[in-house]
Structure 1
Amino acid sequence: MSAEKITAESRTEFGKGAARRIRREHKVPAVVYGHGNDPIHITLPGHDTMMALKHGGANALLELDIDGKSTLALTKQVQVDPIKRHLEHIDFVVVRKGEKVTVEVPVHLNGEAAKETLVVVGTATIQLEAEATHIPEYVEVDIEGLEAGTQILASDLTLPKGSTLLLDGETLIVNITEAQTAEALEAELEEAEAEAGIERDESDAEAAEAAEGDAESTEAADEE
């Protein structure tokens, strides 16, 4: 993964008011942490940063030019407005070339399993240790033609060169099962409806018995 180059500006204004002003200018407030240094508060160009994050994925690596000094930074947390979908804030961590980092990488399925099967993804992301400048965007899993009963574990994955799995090798990644037929699904629905009807009948009967008991108690009290 090559680092996208972004020119940043250091900033001295903080708080919600300052952040809103930055966003109104179509920029993004961000903080860079790491290697025992004090956090660096910066402002990034909104459009360029959004494109860099889309290209780099969940673990985008950026080369930040902060006041003329180049800093290699890995994206750690991105806050996005849930409605307008614009970037609200980004946290970065400083890294160095050759340095190992721990990242979460998505699993991508390639191909189609055999007919009349159901593909169940047990783990959508896996934890890896990789060089900061060689973080894979995803790990590909080939399921082409796999039959029902096939299971792919973490230990079965083919990892990119230089990456080390930090997940238990027995973790289930993909499970191929038999697809449920329309007849079997209909039978299950009918059984569920029948059970629900029995439960309703039992509930109505219990309610009737309770009401009858209350009536008898009331009559007995009136006679006294």
Structure 2
Amino acid sequence: MAEIRLSAELRDKFGKGAARQLRRSGKIPAVLYGHKQESVHLALPEHDLFMALKTPNVLLNLDIAGKSQLALPKAVQKDPVRRTIEHVDLLLVRRGEKVTVEVPIATVGEIAPGGLLEHTLNSLPVEAEATHIPGAIEVSIAGLQVGTQILAKDVELPNGITLAIDPEHVVLHVLASPTAEDMAGETAAPEAEPAAEAPAED
């Protein structure tokens, strides 16, 4: 898995005003917590953090006042309009420690003609070593026929990784592709109701 080193600064100013000032200077407020330790408030370089977060479940190696700390991003707050990073929650981890994460599912191959693949899950909850989280879990869909389901227990996991979800949970299934008649039926205009007859005059 990817391990990216970031330089982190300790911060002692809080609140919306302090956060805005920090972001204007090209840094993002963050909080590091875990292992029953007191939370640590940090400032991270915006560009480097943005690039790092492009990798799912990226392992961050934080340089905090000359001391190295490993962390996983747990929550990323973004501006709803500009989609810029506003704040990040980081979970402190240690080498060899197991954590529960969601790993993206990557399908391989093509289903049989006439089918339509539906993802019930786009990522799979698993338990893995913090330093050995895969970037994606591959699932072969080659030749799958209409009506076929792939359950969580059917997914082949890398060594050392276990499911953190009900094994019977449906991950993928193949539906029948809609026919031209089906599509026409969905787009057809509803028939107009007959006009009510006017009451007879006395």
**When the two structures are superposed, what TM-score results if normalisation uses the length of structure 1?**
0.83
Matching of residues 21-32 of structure 1 within 5 Å: 21-32=21-32
Q: What CA distance in whole angstroms lies between the structure 2 residues aligned with 1:2 and 1:77? A: 18
Residue matched to 2:105:
107
Residue matched to 2:119:
121
Matching of residues 50-61 of structure 1 within 5 Å: 50-54=50-54, 56-57=55-56, 59-61=57-59
- Segments of structure 1 that go 5 or more residues without pairing to the other structure are 220-224
- Please identify, of 124-133 and 12-21, the stretch whose mean Cα deviation from structure 2 is larger: 124-133
Residue matched to 1:197:
191
Residue matched to 2:45:
45
Residue matched to 1:82:
80
Q: What CA distance in whole angstroms lies between the structure 1 residues aligned with 2:186 and 2:30? A: 53
Q: CA shift at 1:188, angstroms?
A: 5.2
Name the structure where strand makes up a greater proportion of residues: 2
CA RMSD of aligned residues (A): 2.1
2:12 is matched by which residue type in structure 1?
A: T
Given that residues 28 and 45 in structure 2 are in contact (C-alpha distance below 8 angstroms), is that contact kept between their aligned partners in structure 1?
A: yes
Residue matched to 1:222:
none
- Identity across matched positions, percent: 49
1:31 is matched by which residue type in structure 2?
A: V
Matching of residues 203-222 of structure 1 within 5 Å: 205=196
2:128 is matched by which residue type in structure 1?
A: A
Matching of residues 86-165 of structure 1 within 5 Å: 86-165=84-163
Secondary structure at the residue paired with 2:102?
strand
2:17 is matched by which residue type in structure 1?
A: G
Secondary structure at the residue paired with 1:146?
coil
Secondary structure at the residue paired with 2:146?
coil
Q: What CA distance in whole angstroms lies between the structure 2 residues aligned with 1:37 and 1:150? A: 47
Q: What CA distance in whole angstroms lies between the structure 1 residues aligned with 2:187 and 2:19? A: 53
Given that residues 111 and 117 in structure 2 are in contact (C-alpha distance below 8 angstroms), is that contact kept between their aligned partners in structure 1?
A: yes
**Higher CA-based Rg:** 1
Residue matched to 1:34:
34
Q: What CA distance in whole angstroms lies between the structure 2 residues aligned with 1:86 and 1:185? A: 39
Equivalent residue in structure 2 for 1:176, among 155, 170, 174: 174
Q: What CA distance in whole angstroms lies between the structure 2 residues aligned with 1:169 and 1:17? A: 47
Which whole-Å deviations, capped at 9, do the CAs of 1:123-160 have from their partners, x for residues lacking one?
A: 22221111000112221111122221221111100112
Secondary structure at the residue paired with 2:182?
helix
Residue matched to 1:15:
15
Across the two proteins, how many residue pairs are aligned to each other? 202
Q: CA shift at 1:14, angstroms?
A: 0.5
Secondary structure at the residue paired with 2:96?
coil
1:123 is matched by which residue type in structure 2?
A: L
**When the two structures are superposed, what TM-score results if normalisation uses the length of structure 2?**
0.91
Q: What CA distance in whole angstroms lies between the structure 2 residues aligned with 1:105 and 1:37? A: 27
Which whole-Å deviations, capped at 9, do the CAs of 1:11-30 have from their partners, x for residues lacking one?
A: 10000001001100111110
Secondary structure at the residue paired with 1:5?
strand
1:35 is matched by which residue type in structure 2?
A: H
